Amino acid sequence: MQIRTGYSIAFDTLGPTPMTLLVNVRPERQKDLLTPEAVAFDPPVTAQREHDAFGNCCTRIVAPGGRITVSADFVIADRGEPDAVDPTARQIPVQDLPADVLPFLLGSRYCDTDKLGSLAWELFGEVPEGWARVQAIVDYAHERIRFDYQLADSTRSAHDGHAQRVGVCRDFAHLAIALCRCMNIPARYATGYLGDIGVPKDPAPMDFSAWFEVYLDGSSGPRWYSFDARHNTPRIGRIVMAYGRDATDCAISTSFGTATLAKFEVHTDEIVPASQNGLRTAA
């Protein structure tokens, strides 16, 4: 399938303000681009593109002061298949994990494992290791937190989300990640596009989405598997922009100075071939 996606985001700054932006799809998905993923700036600024410590495409700019708008619109190919499900995937002993996976066992800014360890073992210590244990954690986070976009809080940690029982997609992900790490299951945060493909249309404005991945040994060998504690069902059309330990590493924008969000629009839609569209309209 083909997906048209992009964004238009504006910031108001008080003067020259350095900013880093994670607004490009991950390098692994750039081979799927069908049109250029050109990032436009209004007013024009010099942009430096590099890769951060997690392999994400990072764009560095200095906003000149006043309003600056960052935008892109592109088409990308997708398998059109839901997230992989492998109930036989087993947990890998810590001593056998690759070195680059080990950091995703540790606590981080928003995944405060030190405050959730006892709870995690109490809740999931008797659940079979591997896929079943991860799914039990996802089920718990899904039921524990109530989604409310109006109550988003950029300072809310996994422990806070568990106590407050409310949050947005990042809070579902942080709680599930922290609980997985407490059980010695490597888990990493993911952010990107997730449109309403294969599911009823959500009337709320489109936003970037957050989910997480765990490292398990499945039928095709060790790999990262996607889980979504907010929706708790395999979804179609995830387009990853960034991976990291938590939302700190995957922030869409980081400003080194005041940068007030003035506009935020995201679109992610399946491109329906004209023949199919005609059939649907006729029906």
Q: pLDDT for 94-144, tens place per residue?
A: 999 999 999 999 999 999 999 999 999 999 999 999 999 999 999 999 999
Digit-coded pLDDT (tens) for 1-10: 999 999 999 9
Task: Please give the structure tokens belonging to residue 225.
Answer: 């598997």
Q: How high is the pLDDT of residue 167?
A: 96
Point out the least confidently predicted range of 161-165, 166-170, 239-243, 276-280: 276-280
Q: What is the mean pLDDT of residues 160-171?
A: 97
Q: Measured between alpha carbons, how far is 170 from 188 in angstroms, rounded to an integer?
A: 12
Q: pLDDT averaged over the chain?
A: 95
Instruction: Return the percentage of the chain with pLDDT > 70, whole number.
Output: 96
Element of type H or E holding 273:
none
Residue 278 pLDDT > 60 = no
Phi, psi of 200 (to 5 degrees): -60, 145
Phi, psi of 282 (to 5 degrees): -65, -35
For 99, residues 6+ apart whose C-beta sits below 8 A from its C-beta are: none
Is the pTM higher than 0.85? yes
Residue of 7, 88, 28 lying closest to 243 (CA atoms): 28
Phi, psi of 36 (to 5 degrees): -60, 140
Q: Measured between alpha carbons, how far is 216 from 258 in angstroms, rounded to an integer?
A: 41
Q: Measured between alpha carbons, how far is 13 from 65 in angstroms, rounded to an integer?
A: 5
- 3-class DSSP state of 175: helix
Residue 255 pLDDT > 70 = yes
Query: How many CB atoms are closer than 10 A to CB 107?
Result: 19
Digit-coded pLDDT (tens) for 16-71: 999 999 999 999 999 999 999 999 999 999 999 999 999 999 999 999 999 999 99
Cβ pair 116, 162 in contact under 8 A: yes
Q: How high is the pLDDT of residue 205?
A: 86
Q: How high is the pLDDT of residue 275?
A: 60
Q: How high is the pLDDT of residue 272?
A: 87
Residue of 130, 162, 123 lying closest to 146 (CA atoms): 162
Q: How high is the pLDDT of residue 279?
A: 42
Q: How high is the pLDDT of residue 280?
A: 42
Residue 282 pLDDT > 50 = no
What are the structural domains, with CATH classification, of the chain?
A: 2-78+252-282 (2.60.40.2250), 94-244 (3.10.620.30)
